[in-house]
């Protein structure tokens, strides 16, 4: 009987965490939408995505806030722009654990995760965002094949080394 109560307790705790995570995600989306005009005009942000554990409902008490932004194609992206956007998001969200990712130059696996499992906060042009998502998937699947070949080569190497 005690084991059954333990399982029920943990399931209820997980449900409470998921509800809290969903509330937090909605709050983050609302706050960032409140500064969307600034992000668009000052920094050339074309779209912003909330991703990671907060977006998927898996956030715990120590989870950070993962936000990806895509900037105008011709824009010069330097560290100052990234820092300014990050500081602005931290101020608006009233927390220092915002993990900002500039999607223009991010790892294909991270980009795919952000657009595939994330929540769109805002976008300037829905067609542009949809095209980006399709391209991100294509690049990711190409990248995944490359990583798979690399992994196979490494595995074969270590198997040879172990057998010698």
Residue found under tokens 């029920």: 8
Q: What is the DSSP letter of 161?
A: H
pLDDT tens for each residue of 19-76: 444 568 999 999 999 999 999 999 999 999 999 999 998 888 888 999 999 999 887 7
DSSP 3-state assignment of 107?
A: coil
Which CATH number does the domain 2-163 belong to among 3.30.460.10, 3.20.20.70, 3.30.930.10, 3.40.50.1820? 3.30.460.10
pLDDT tens for each residue of 91-126: 999 999 999 999 999 999 999 999 999 999 999 999
71, β-bridge pairs: 45
Listed residue (104, 33, 117, 101) closest to 71, CA to CA: 104
All structural domains of the chain with their residue ranges: 2-163
Listed residue (1, 59, 71, 4) closest to 27, CA to CA: 59
Which two tokens mark 51?
């991703």
């Amino acid at each position: 009987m005690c084991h059954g109560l333990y399982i029920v307790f943990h399931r209820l705790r997980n449900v409470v965490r998921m509800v809290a995570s969903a509330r937090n995600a909605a709050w983050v989306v609302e706050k960032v939408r409140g500064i969307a005009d600034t992000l668009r005009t000052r920094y050339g942000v074309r779209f912003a995505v909330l991703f990671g554990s907060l977006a998927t409902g898996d956030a715990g008490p120590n989870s950070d806030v993962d936000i990806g932004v895509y900037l105008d194609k011709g824009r010069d992206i330097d560290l100052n722009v990234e820092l300014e956007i990050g500081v602005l998001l931290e101020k608006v969200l009233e927390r220092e654990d915002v993990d900002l990712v500039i999607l223009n130059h991010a790892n294909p696996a991270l980009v795919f995760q952000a657009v595939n499992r994330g929540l769109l906060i805002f976008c300037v042009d829905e067609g542009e965002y949809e095209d980006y998502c399709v391209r991100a998937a294509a690049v990711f699947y190409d990248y995944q094949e490359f990583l798979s070949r690399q992994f196979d080569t490494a595995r074969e190497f270590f198997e040879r080394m172990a057998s010698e």
